[in-house]
Structure 1
Amino acid sequence: MNQPAQPATRIGQATTIEMSRAEAEVKAAVVIAQQNPRNIHAAVDEMRFACQQYALAEKAFFSYPKGKETITGPSVHLARELALIWGNVQHGTMELSRDTGLGQSEILAYAWDLQRNSRSSQIFIAPHVRDTRQGKKDLTDLRDVYENNANLGARRLREAIFAMLPAWYVSEAVSICEETLKKGNGQTLAERVTEAIQTYDRVGITVHQLETKVGRPQDQWDEKDITDLEVIYRSVDRKEMTPAEAFPPPKVTADEITGGQRQNAEPGSEVRS
């Protein structure tokens, strides 16, 4: 009779060497960070300069639908840039395990201030599914699973970095990026409106849908309106949401359908459902 396989009772030499190397690398990073503390004033000056650059500001925010509302906030791109400027910070995501039978992965997202030895981390389960308009779709292709895990990991990484960075530092960066977006990239408001309409037209979104989203006709849009539309488009372009999710079609009620039937019916006739 075949005996069941027994778990390994010892760690291989290669694994031992790698564990020792990783431990030594972490200790060295902590020592170097504490011996070379960050210059907070220099970091703030560099942050202000970076956030005044349109190339960063245009990637600094995300947008996604939640119920009847559109949620916006600082993106993982801004989080990574602020962590780089702050200095003495390590961050990342790591897939700890993958279970194709259960259709899920276990992922770690972390941000670590080596100088202060302050760490924010989260281990979470990433289901191998994708939400679609037809419901949830199971993911079996390795590339789809990887992209799904990377997308979910980036969200948790954003939270970890912002939890580790000083709140006042993040708040000022967000404010500067918002002002940079309102100013635009050297274009007039009219030029930005025209470009936004043309850009959305390429993904099948009409002017009427944009005006419904903003709540005003295009000739009344201001800098904030066009900035919000630009943020939404970049989220669509990054596949954080679909055009249909960003601009859902209007829902027709039963009363409207029945009312329309009655209006089109001949006098004296009955409307049957």
Structure 2
Amino acid sequence: MTTLDQIQQPRTPVTQTTAVEQARAVAEVAAAVRVAQDNPRNRDRALGEMRDSCGRLALANRAFYSVPNRGNGPSVHLARELARIWGNVRYGVHELSRNDETGMSEIRAFAVDLETNVESTRTFQVPHERMVKKQRSKLTDLGDVYLNNQNIGARAVRECIFTVLPTWFTEEAQDRCNQTLRDGEGVPLDDRITQMVDGFRGAFGVTEQQLEDRLGRKRGQWDAGTVAQATVIYTSLQRGETKVADEFPVADAPLGVTAAEITGKPTNGGA
């Protein structure tokens, strides 16, 4: 079923206002298809622009995510940029319904290549909840529900975009972004390491020792690949996709060590 077919088949009886809006949406999509077919993409131009964009830290720093329990990979920011560069790609997220009584929303994410009529969609139920310390916590604030739906929808639209884009195009883009993170646009590695350590300390209170533990090697052993890995973690923290406590858990104290020994203060008020 194409995008036009889905728009033309309403899920429930609609009002006259809704019917007018549906007709407008059908006309808008039909016009976009005609424009795409009259102005086919230039693959050589798209390839050149992709290589240029992925060679810049402004994109490379946002091109990947790293989230505990969800893994890592290319981000929605990279997906949207590649869709823009490839051209004639339409994508989005629609909230089809929301039921505050049952605490559930229905979300639809889609991406379609208007030239080839290749389409990818995801329709799914989203509970008005978030995981807090591995436990479900209900969301009641309207802003929290909206942001939760948008965050989950963004992950779904990312998968839709990568489905309709050519594999060779997205893989080269990821390779070039990784290379840019390693090269740092010519900034010396020692300077980038210093900036990274200062950035983690200033923004999140993460110490150099915590970074060494998280990255699995001492500062003197860090290379460009290590800095690239840390950059992905830093960006995920900035976007709120993960938390400092998840990325840098505090190690448990050794058995037999008391709080007084750790803090240097007596626990009973004695001298």
- Normalising by structure 1, we get a TM-score of 0.85
1:156 counterpart letter in structure 2 = A
Residue 52 of structure 1 deviates from its aligned partner by 0.8
- In angstroms, what is the RMSD of aligned CA positions? 1.9
Residue 187 of structure 1 deviates from its aligned partner by 2.2
Q: Describe the superposition over 1:107-159 as per-residue Cα deviations: whole angstroms up to 9, x where unpaired.
A: 01100101100000100111111222273221111111111111111111111
Local SS of the residue matching 1:233: helix
* Mapping for residues 1-273 of structure 1, pairs under 5 Å: 11-66=14-69, 71-133=71-133, 135-202=135-202, 203-251=204-252, 257=255
Residue 204 of structure 1 deviates from its aligned partner by 2.0
Conserved 8 A contact 2:119-2:164: yes
2 CA distance for matches of 1:250 and 1:125?
Answer: 37
Moved more, 131-140 or 86-95: 131-140
Local SS of the residue matching 1:125: strand
Residue 208 of structure 1 deviates from its aligned partner by 1.2
Residue 10 of structure 1 deviates from its aligned partner by 6.7
Residue 85 of structure 1 deviates from its aligned partner by 0.6
Q: Describe the superposition over 1:64-110 as per-residue Cα deviations: whole angstroms up to 9, x where unpaired.
A: 112xxx82211000000000111111001010111111212110110
Show structure 2 runs of 5+ residues with no match.
1-11, 262-271
Residue 14 of structure 1 deviates from its aligned partner by 2.1
Conserved 8 A contact 2:56-2:185: no
Residue 191 of structure 1 deviates from its aligned partner by 1.2
1:106 counterpart letter in structure 2 = E
- Rg (Cα) greater in structure: 1
Q: How many residues align?
A: 247
**Seq. identity, %:** 46
Residue 11 of structure 1 deviates from its aligned partner by 4.3
Local SS of the residue matching 1:184: helix
2 CA distance for matches of 1:246 and 1:189?
Answer: 23
2:28 counterpart letter in structure 1 = E
Show structure 1 runs of 5+ residues with no match.
1-8, 265-273
